[in-house]
Amino acid sequence: MSQHPVRIDGQAVHTDDSMVITAPYDGRTLGEVPACGRDHVDRAVRGARAALTEAPLPQWRRAEILDRAAELLADDDVFEDLARTIALEAAKPITTARAEVSRCLSTFRFSAAACRTMAGEVLPLDASRAGEGRLGFTLRVPVGVVAAITPFNFPVNLVAHKLAPAIAAGCPVVLKPAHQTPLSGLKLAELLLDRCGLPHGWLHTVTGDGPTTGAALVEHDDVAMVTFTGSPEVGWAIRAAAPRKKVSLELGNNSPIIVEPDGDWQSAAAKIAAAGTTHAGQSCISVQRVYVHSSIADAFTDELTRAVDALVLGDPLDDRTQVSALIDTDNRDRVAAWIDDAVGQGASIATGGTIRDDGVLAPTVLTDVTADMAVCSQEVFGPLVGVRRYDHLDDAFAWANDTRYGLHAGIFTADLGATRRAIEVLDFGGVIVNDVPTWRADQMPYGGVRDSGNTREGPAYAIAEMTEVRSAVIA
Ligand code: NAD
């Protein structure tokens, strides 16, 4: 099988060692990619560093490149090829994979818009005695070479959330896509380099495992900033390993949702069934913990269970499939073991909990979950929601906040007071009212508190992170 090359200084680079990429659903071999070592990483970073000084790109050109990428992503062949690649390498159902490519397109559009309007500000120096007679303003200057390290679960749009703002900000970038799902990210990078006019020095790709290729990138002296999306364990270790670099972290989560009796709980049940199981629950804002008021708990759980039972499971390439395999059997078996443990601790299975003949873990609803169970306290990253009933809304707020994570939380309610209190009290990066915490638009600020991270993505916000403020004073 031929190796899909990486791109360093515009050249297609192969290595002697390969990583084999397999489809999580049926185990078929999809391809091989280079196992890049320190020397490849070094060449890539040095190429990016050189582009900063030798191949400057004005703001208008950067915006045009990003717009061109969005145009090409709308092309049927490009669109479908990327969606199929995602579906195969990540076992993401093809309709969800198409939605990811659509979102990627809008990430490029918003990045182009943010690039065009990126500006500094006028400083009112005259407002102080010392500043009298001086003119001052700020510029936003690129932070330098950006290293982008991305996870397996959104292998195109999360790559876009790093490459597009970096280009907009004027930062050359080296991408290391997830070791399980590198193929779609490599294709997106090739689109930028080969068809959008991005000069070769501005984007390099390296593939390999995290501890070798990823670590070499993090440790390289010429990398000014690491933008990382992935697990808290790896993310915080990167932060510790690179104390003098900018390190932006988008990490894990175990999203709670509160369902009040005055809210549209039937709609909540349907949305939670989808949001807890989309991409087999492997979304950082997948619904995991459901707190439902006692007065509607039985009816709500029945509705939720019915909706989960109606989901179509199977081959990710089948248009009807809504839930497919987890990324690997280790993770599938881990989630199954956590379900068993929860049952051992007093939870009940309303539906699911079994592994089908094709290896897909059936989407699972657990009831009577408690905070000490792993399915509540950890990030499940599997097709599972746990339901707990409450009598007092303040208890639900307290339980929702009782987590080391803090990305998104949600509440269904028709009450303005409860809405306002939720927004004030829920200690998360985003609070979604009358929809699931899984809801996200690509232009909004997105990120978490506590173990969920230390930054905000969304093109305009990522650009701010990838630039430094330079003060200019004219005496
Ligand atoms: P992961 O941490 O295992 O891997 C992420 C990336 O880091 C991969 O490219 C991997 O190869 C690399 N890596 C691993 N070890 C490394 C090291 N020592 N040095 C440098 N790089 C290293 O995460 P994953 O399993 O791919 O993704 C799942 C996690 O990502 C979940 O926790 C999920 O919640 C989180 N996530 C967060 C967001 C967000 O926006 N907050 C979005 C998607 C996923």
87 with 220, same domain: the answer is yes
The CA distance from 187 to 180, in Å, is: 15
Q: Please give the average per-residue pLDDT across 267-293, as a whole number.
A: 98
Which region, left, alpha or beta, applies to residue 69 given φ > 0 means left and ψ of -120 to 50 means alpha?
alpha
> Quick one: pLDDT band at residue 8, thresholds 50, 70, 90?
very high
153 with 222, same domain: the answer is yes
Nearest atom (ligand 1) to Cα of 177:
9
144 with 238, same domain: the answer is yes
Q: What is the CATH number of the domain that holds 219?
A: 3.40.605.10
Exposure class string for 161-184: b at 16+ Cβ within 10 A, else e: bbbbbbbbbbbbbbbbbbbbbbbb
**In sequence order, what DSSP letters do the residues of 201-252 get, joined into one string?**
GGEEE--S-IIIIIHHHHH-TTEEEEEEES-HHHHHHHHHH-TTSEEEEE--
**In sequence order, what DSSP letters do the residues of 394-418 get, joined into one string?**
HHHHHHHH-SS--SEEEEE-S-HHH
Domain-embedded: residue 204: yes
Number of H helices, E strands in the chain: 15, 19
Catalytic residue, from 89, 100, 250, 303: name it.
250
88 with 25, same domain: the answer is yes
> Quick one: pLDDT band at residue 120, thresholds 50, 70, 90?
very high
CA 422 to ligand 1 centroid distance, Å = 30
Instruction: For residue 320, count other CB atoms closer than 10 A to its CB.
Output: 11
Domain-embedded: residue 239: yes
190 with 336, same domain: the answer is no
The pLDDT of residue 115 is 98
177 with 290, same domain: the answer is no
220 with 275, same domain: the answer is no
180 with 281, same domain: the answer is no
Domain-embedded: residue 446: no
**pLDDT tens-digit profile of 170-182?**
999 999 999 999 9
Domain-embedded: residue 442: no
Instruction: Compute the 3-state secondary structure of the chain and give helix, strand, coil in percent, each to the nearest 5.
Output: 45, 20, 35
Contact between residue 419 and residue 411 where contact means Cβ atoms under 8 Å apart = yes
Domain-embedded: residue 272: yes
CA 331 to ligand 1 centroid distance, Å = 14
The pLDDT of residue 1 is 74
Domain-embedded: residue 149: yes
Q: Which residues' Cβ are closer than 6 Å to ligand 1?
A: 149-154, 158, 176, 178-179, 209-211, 214-215, 218, 229-231, 234, 238, 250-253, 284, 379, 381, 407, 453
75 with 169, same domain: the answer is yes
Domain-embedded: residue 234: yes
Domain count, the chain: 2
Q: At 222, phi and psi to the nearest 5?
A: -90, 0
Contact between residue 259 and residue 291 where contact means Cβ atoms under 8 Å apart = yes
> Where is 169: in which H helix or E strand?
helix 157-169
Domain-embedded: residue 448: no
Q: Please give the average per-residue pLDDT across 432-443, as a whole number.
A: 98
336 with 199, same domain: the answer is no
The pLDDT of residue 43 is 98
The pLDDT of residue 2 is 87
The pLDDT of residue 41 is 98
Q: Is 54 a catalytic residue?
A: no
Q: What is the CATH number of the domain that holds 355?
A: 3.40.309.10
Which region, left, alpha or beta, applies to residue 143 given φ > 0 means left and ψ of -120 to 50 means alpha?
alpha
Boundaries of domain holding 466:
6-251+453-474
CA 21 to ligand 1 centroid distance, Å = 17
Structure-token match 């690997």, residue found: 328
Q: Is 36 a catalytic residue?
A: no
156 with 137, same domain: the answer is yes
CA-proximal residue: ligand 1, atom 35 (nearest)? 230
**pLDDT tens-digit profile of 367-424?**
999 999 999 999 999 999 999 999 999 999 999 999 999 999 999 999 999 999 999 9
21 with 163, same domain: the answer is yes
